[in-house]
Structure formats: structure tokens, C-alpha cells
Amino acid sequence: MSPEFTKLLQAELEAVAARYAERNPRSKALHSEAVKSMPGGNTRTVLHVGPFPVVMKSGKGFQITSEDGHTYTDFTAEFTAALYGHSNPVILSAISDVLQNTGMNIGATTAQEQIFARELCRRFHLEHIRFANSGTEANLHALAAARAFTKKRKVVAFGGGYHGGVIGFAGDKPGANNVDREDWIVAKYNDLESARSAISSDGVAAVIVEGVQGAGGAITGKPEFLRGIQEAAAKAGVLVILDEVMTSRLTAGGLAELRGLKPDLKTFGKYLGGGLAFGAFGGRADVMAAFDPRFPGALSHSGTFNNNTLVTHAGYAGLTKVYTPEVASQFTKKGDELRERLNEVTKGTRVCFTGMGTILGIHFPADGTRDIERGGVVEEIDGIRDLFWFDMLEEGFWVVRRGFIALVLETPESELERFVRCVEAFVSKRAGLVKL
């Protein structure tokens, strides 16, 4: 970019950052205390932002309120886990019923866990399922099952993919703290030739893939790419693990149903726990049998909270009484319409929106391309991304700094419309930086 462009961007960023500091003095003070007990004042990397994070105090419905007293429409939705919002009466009632009548830490098998398991199997077309406490854990156990079943070790993953805190592929390589670093083969997302060649390598147990890369920028996997992976894997005797941790919200039966895919295993998490910590993995009974404790040599799958009563009740209530199949498809339609409206008002600019349904990515491509098939490949202007975040915060929208939006179910249409108008105002106010 030209020196004038860089100078303008710098000046605008300095102005918004100064206003941010002025508007959020209590967050700033809390951050300077937090660094005394946590490195960087942080216990969750994705929430770290400079100069200091806004500290949130509470959430209600589709909104959250900061320690500085500002209320935001929650467009982060806990990275899709807060689909039910912050005070859904069905979820609250299920939780309160458990607290009052069931008890929290039973330390035994319960009838509710099989009721919940049955419902998840029905909804997501699984033969068998097991529970965990996070999406990360679900993926780790699914990988263990695939390795036990195939008696092979290597796993194909995709650049930009994210399957948990220790299974990430930003920058097209395994993260520095990834598990089993030597066992990954990283192929290119949305590039079937690259996927086929990786899958046909020696010693591959499984291929793990997101149907829409969430953390990678809400990049939609092309249907022919996903189907091609399935075909190549079947030919090579490699299992397919479809990571539905984010995408399970997209239809009643998740992305697999939408794309007509039949992966060997699927993994889940996020909202399916009703807003509580949750993970699950399931699929083919013969593969899941690796964990069947009735057989000698079965893999151990422990976890104190795997079948906790809060999550098995809240998750079940959410899925059966709130996020019914009809609601799921209407919600995805609402998200698709929002993305279309946003792309309409940002035409001819360096701002565009990707994703599917209520999972959206915001991109700031330097050359204005709107065809983003892989994250990290198109050059983006990070300074404009920051400016957007500061501006949307001032307008009362809590979006993810790196450019990610997930919707809360009960967000009113008027707020979606207001967001479209704010984005329109952004590209007009920041025309010197974003107009092509």
C-alpha cells in the first residue's frame, strides 16, 4: 500500500484506540490487575486483544454488558456455543431443575445420559456416541478411535483448520503446541488434488476436516471437495472424521446432512451442551467399539464430567425444545440473508463476508477479491480489520477482533438490520481506506 494509505490508516487507528481507552477505563484497570496473576492477564488466547480487552460483566438474552457499563449485541455468541443466548428460559429451567432435584455430581451412570445420547444419535445419524467436555477432547478421542481401528497413525488435516487448543493448523502447519506433531500431513483446504495426494500417503489412519472452517475465517468447503475427500478416503482405507463442532447448528442434522456426506465419525461441542462445557464424538459402531469396556484391550475414555447431569439435561432440553429441526433451518436462512445483505452494502470495497448460515467471517482483502476459498492465502489488511472492530464496538456490536461473527438465536431482526446499516456507514466513513 502507498505511504499515504499507511499514514491515514495509522492516524485513524490511533484516534479509535484513544477513544476505546477513554470509554473503557474500568476494563483497563482490571487488565492491569489481571497481568499480576495470569500471563498477559489472559487464560484464553483468542480473547487477548491490544491495548487491553474489554472486560465483560454479564449477559442477558442476546446482549452482554461490560464492566464499563456498555451493552453490546452479542455477535460473538461464545464462538457459536452461546446459540441459546444468555438467559433462555428453557435452558435456565433445565439447569435449575437439576440443581434442585437431581444433584450435580452423581459419580455414576444415569438414565439421562442415554436419553441425551439417543437424541444426538437420532439427530446426527450416528450409530454410537460418547461424551467429553470440549470439542478438543472429542477430536482427540475420535482420532484415538480411528488409529485403534485402522492400526495406523498418520492423520491428514487442512491448512487453516482448527480442531482444538492442541490441534490447529494456522499458517498451513501444525501449531507449535499440537499433539503428535510428527504424525500430521497438512493438505490445502478446498484443493482436492492436495487432499487426494495426502490421503493416499503411507500409514494414514484418518482425515479430519471441517465442512466450514470456522477459526480459519468462516471458509466454506466446496461440496465437491468434501465429497472428493470421502471418496479418496474410502479408496485408501482411511477414516473420515467430520468436525461438526461449529457446523452442527447449520441444519437439523448438521453439515453432513446438508452436503449429503457420510463420514465414519463426527465430532461435536459448543451449543449442544446447552451453553455448558461439552464435547461428543460418534458414528460407526464398529469404530466406536474401540472404547467398549466390555472387551479386553479397549481404549480407556475417562473424564470426570463426561456425563454430568447439568449438561445432559440442559443439552437435551435445548435440542428437543428450542433448537428443533424447523428452527435450525430458519436460523440458517436468516444468517444467509444477513451475509447477502452485508455483501451487497460492501460491494466495490475491501470488506467482504464469508461463511454459511449464522457463522460469518469478515475479510479485508487488499485487492478487494471476494472469492476467498482458503484463509491466509489472500493478502488482507489487518489495520482495517482492527478499525472495523473498534468502530463496531462503538456502535454496540460485540464481534470477534479477528473477524468472526456467530449469531445468538433470539437476536431481533432490527439488530441485524442495524448492523447492516453500521457496516454500510463504515465503508462510507472509511472510504479512503476501503473503497477500491
Ligand X SMILES: Cc1ncc(COP(=O)(O)O)c(C=O)c1O
Interface contacts to ligand X, rule CB under 6 A: 79, 134-136, 139, 162-164, 210, 214-215, 243, 245-246, 269, 279
CB of 393 to ligand X, least distance (A): 22
* Minimum distance of ligand X from residue 99's CB (angstroms): 23
Is the Cβ of residue 52 or residue 169 nearer to ligand X in the bound state?
169
Nearer to ligand X, 214 or 365 (CB): 214
Least distance in angstroms from the C-beta of 247 to ligand X: 7
Q: Which is nearer to ligand X, 167 or 195 (CB)?
A: 167
Q: How far is the CB of 246 from ligand X (least distance, A)?
A: 4
Closer by beta carbon to ligand X, 208 or else 427:
208
Q: Nearest approach, Cβ of 165 to ligand X (angstroms)?
A: 6
Amino acid at 5: F
**Nearest approach, Cβ of 206 to ligand X (angstroms)?**
15
Question: Would you say 267 or 309 has its CB closer to ligand X?
Answer: 267
The C-alpha cell 476494563 sits at 27
- Minimum CB separation of residue 135 from ligand X in Å reads 2
What cell does 112 get? 439421562
Smallest separation (angstroms) from ligand X to the CB of 162:
5
Return the number of the residue (164 or 365) whose C-beta is nearest ligand X: 164
Residue 187 or 387 having the CB closest to ligand X: 187
Q: What is the smallest separation between the CB atom of 367 and ligand X, expressed in angstroms?
A: 28
Residue 40 C-alpha cell reads as 498477559
| CB nearer to ligand X: pick between 174 and 383 | 174
Of the pair 12, 210, the CB lying nearest ligand X is at: 210
Per-residue 3-state assignment (H helix, E strand, C coil) for the chain: CCHHHHHHHHHHHHHHHHHHHHHCHHHHHHHHHHCCCCHHHCCCHHHCCCCCCCCEEEEECCEEEECCCCEEEECCHHHHCCCCCCCCHHHHHHHHHHHHHHCCCCCCCCHHHHHHHHHHHHHHCCCEEEEECCHHHHHHHHHHHHHHHHCCCEEEEECCCECCCCCECHHHCCCCCCCCHHHEEEECCCCHHHHHHHHCCCCEEEEEEECEECCCCCEECCHHHHHHHHHHHHHHCCEEEEECCCHHHCCCCHHHHHHCCCCCEEEEEHHHHCCCCCEEEEECHHHHHHHCCCCCCCCCCCCCCCCCHHHHHHHHHHHHHHCCHHHHHHHHHHHHHHHHHHHHHCCCECCEEEEECCEEEEECECCCCCCCCCCCCCCECHHHHHHHHHHHHHCCEECECCCEEECCCCCCHHHHHHHHHHHHHHHHHCHHHHEC
As a whole number of angstroms, the distance between CA 185 and CA 168 comes to: 12
Tell me whether residue 215 or residue 399 sits nearer to ligand X (CB atom). Answer: 215
Cβ pair 128, 288 in contact under 8 A: yes
Q: Residue with the closest Cβ to ligand X? A: 135
CB of 259 to ligand X, least distance (A): 15
At 58, list the grid cell. Answer: 454479564
Nearer to ligand X among residue 214 and residue 318 (C-beta): 214
Tell me how far apart the alpha carbons of residues 279 and 197 are, in angstroms, rounded to a whole number. Answer: 31
Residue 262 beta carbon to ligand X: minimum distance, rounded to whole angstroms: 19
Beta bridge partners of 239: 206
Closest CA to 205 of 290, 293, 279: 290
